[in-house]
Chain A
């Protein structure tokens, strides 16, 4: 007779989080096998295909890398805000805003030299994302409006904006009625790196490393940590919370916007409705799994990129690509579940209140 309760550990288990992450992956793969088997597929063959397609060759790696770029930047965007205890749920919309701004630059700067055009495009993308982050940032800093809801709402607003553009002013006359913007001029395309991979991977990695250094080594990063730990302490130390909230949410938007610019210039050749590809939402999971740490964001983004590429590859076997979507969510749930046990232990409490391990 008895029931189970969670008891807080005196100390967090060393290495608990990476372990929890591995357990998350493992349990997700396990549930995946079950799902596939029940629906009449050869689970191991499906997994083999997924591995082959995502990390089995240099081409596979290049595809994975291309997906990891927007995932990593979106994850970093969420993590930047998350370190201060803020939630930017609006990366999805900010990616769109970044892509739209970059596309607009490409339209007016068609004749510019390619390096200049790409640079201006990416800067415009950062600006676009930052602008979309500015509204929630000001509302949060000045009036205390919950940024979760405002950023979430702006996702939908940005999406309608993009739909309006490709159904109307930007519609490609040669698209035979499909809502597509025209294909980008050649000079607006990011140069390739190897196979399918483009320079976006390098830019993303640099941004992640740069933020990692800023966050851990500079006075600004220190102020961010103080503000994230306790707002009242920050005020006491003379750190302006309002300014931190403002910069962090705008910066977060800018990073997500950059993801949109790179996605447009590197991977997609035109503005289409699905250009944000759910990276904004996946980025939240990436950041959560990485515990808001930049290095973790890079690693998790690579994993999720591989899972997504693998998911696309199994369609030819008659398996729905949604398997990869399911796997991503399951990895997170598995990791949360396992992560709890690095902070808590389970004890059985009997009726007589004697605790048994």
Chain B
């Protein structure tokens, strides 16, 4: 373990977590993690998905009780039994999924749990407005939260902590929902808060942000702290990346280029609405040829989810045409698309791709059960064979086939899901965030599968939030912004800066 913290420093650290353990059924989320944050700094907590960052922060914010370990705030020992205890100790947390009540106004959300017994609407709105102005947060306290954008909602979350005068603020992957310019704005606000003596814990896996915004960094891997309180200015992103992934690098080598096949997926002039019935995609065109991987990059919430669903047949189009393997399937049912040769790996593995309460066999046949019938009955024997075939071919490590899939690890769930989609020998594969939340080995396995399918001539549309993954795997890279394709890049030559600008909608190529 690397420690650069000056132990002789006279003031105790704002936060000191020592040897924290937390287990969940089947998972050890924290295995002796430590963290020490200097007062008045912005401290990055880095780690891959599943490294235990969120769990550690939930322990610090009183959401989870650790199995063992110590929490010291400004030198004083604490045992948090609930978020209330943590709040009382001056710790505020901005969760990845916002803890906001959509039907409440901004002001009501901010003062919830921290107000006088009697509420006077106008005076509370004025007070909340004052605090927002003090830190340069642009927000209207009288608006109901359901009308706000993601960036605005995040400001409400930060405002909640400021309202409680939290001296320690935890932000869990705060930029995931922001455009680059909104992210920069957030950086300014955070610096302002640090300058006023507050300590900020910034959880991220985006290295350039850490480099830009943070003073110190702690790296977690597999639930353990592998590097504590590195001074950011003395380190570089390559070193941080190395610490995050450990000895085995996660990226695979770029697949050898091959000549383009025939167009297998053509999407032209597509429009679609989001869940709130607002336009999510407008006049979108793209083509994927056999034997190529086309990547789609973008800040989350710019229509990537919707375009995947539209192609899979889970969301109706308002205009345009979808042609899969030569057939016009614009308004076809999901089953018909599967039969026509479309495989789909949805971003929500459990709950869309797989049914959590059903067993492994039942999940394995989900796409194909109509072919496993004997009259009205399901053919048990053939179901089992079909399932065993997927399990063997794609290396799913499972217990009994009759057990609910809830017991499988994330990586095995994804292998089962991807394997099932590939078992239909698709011509076109749409994969949305296929490696998100997997451990290093799991990521590699899925990426290898995608590359192998590409070599076999399958047309693959890869939607990911991991730019490194897209740059490595894609033959062509498209960037989405506000429901449109705003740029196309050659991954071998493109500059990150240009891609970033396109993601922010600043350049149109």
Query: Which residues of A are in contact with B by a Cβ distance under 8 Å?
Result: 8-11, 217-220, 222, 225-226, 228-230, 232-238, 349, 351-355
Instruction: Give min CB distance, B351 to chain A, whole Å.
Output: 5
Question: Is B338 within 8 A of A352, CB to CB?
Answer: no
**Contact A230–B351 (Cβ < 8 Å):** yes
Say whether B25 faces chain A, with CB atoms less than 8 Å apart: yes
Contacts of A349 in B (CB 8 A): 65, 81
Question: Would you call the interface of chain B mostly helix, strand, loop, or mixed?
Answer: loop
Given contacts A222-B378, A225-B362, contact A233 B25 (CB under 8 A): no
- Which residue in A219, A238, A351 is a CB contact (below 8 Å) of B373? A219
A237 touching B334, Cβ below 8 Å: yes
CB distance from A355 to the nearest CB of B (A): 7
* B159 at interface, CB cutoff 8 A: no
With A10-B25, A225-B362, A353-B65 in contact, do A220 and B376 touch (Cβ < 8 Å)? yes
**B505 to nearest A CB, angstroms?**
30
For window 368-397 of B, CB contacts with A under 8 Å fall at 369-370, 373, 376-378
A143 to chain B, nearest CB (A): 15
Let me know if B180 is at the binding interface, CB within 8 A: no
Complex Cα gap A237–B355 (Å): 10
Query: Judging by beta carbons under 8 Å apart, are A232 and B351 in contact?
Result: yes
Q: Name B residues whose Cβ lies closer than 8 Å to a Cβ of A.
A: 25-26, 65-68, 79, 81, 312, 314, 333-336, 338, 344, 346, 348, 350-358, 362, 366-367, 369-370, 373, 376-378
Measured in the bound complex, the distance between the Cα atoms of B338 and A353 in whole Å is 52
Are B355 and A229 neighbours in the complex by a CB distance under 8 Å? Answer: yes
Asked if residues A219 and B353 are in contact (CB atoms below 8 Å), the reply is no
21 A-B interface contacts by CB (under 8 A): A9-B25, A218-B377, A219-B369, A222-B369, A222-B378, A226-B355, A229-B355, A230-B350, A230-B352, A230-B355, A230-B356, A230-B357, A232-B351, A235-B334, A236-B314, A236-B344, A236-B353, A237-B369, A238-B335, A238-B338, A355-B67
- B336 proximity list for chain A (CB < 8 A): 238
Asked if A229 contacts B358 (CB within 8 A), the reply is yes
The answer to whether B352 touches A219, judged by C-beta atoms less than 8 angstroms apart, is no
Give the docked Cα–Cα distance between A28 and B251 (Å).
Answer: 62
How near does chain B come to A167, taking the closest CB pair, in angstroms?
45
Known: A8-B25, A233-B366. 14 other contacts (CB 8 A): A10-B26, A217-B377, A218-B378, A222-B362, A229-B357, A229-B358, A230-B355, A233-B354, A235-B334, A238-B334, A349-B65, A349-B81, A353-B68, A354-B68
| B425 CB, nearest partner CB in chain A, Å | 18
| Given A218-B376, A219-B369, A353-B79, residue A236 in contact with residue B346 (CB < 8 A) | yes
B376: chain A residues at CB < 8 Å are: 218-220
> Which residue of chain A lies nearest to B333 when distances are taken between CB atoms in the complex?
A238
Q: Which residues of A contact B26 (CB under 8 A)?
A: 10
Measured CB to CB, the closest approach of chain A to B407, in angstroms, equals 8
Known pairs A10-B25, A352-B79, A353-B79; A233 contacts B352 (CB<8 A): yes
Shortest Cβ distance from B312 into A: residue = A236
Q: Which residue of A lies closest to B315 (CB)?
A: A235
Could you tell me the distance between the alpha carbons of A217 and B376 in the complex, rounded to whole angstroms?
8
Q: Which residues of A contact B81 (CB under 8 A)?
A: 349
Contact of A353 among B25, B66, B344, B348 (CB under 8 A): B66
Given contacts A236-B334, A238-B333, A352-B79, contact A226 B358 (CB under 8 A): yes
Report the minimum CB–CB distance from A293 to chain B (whole Å): 14
B383: min CB distance to chain A, Å: 9
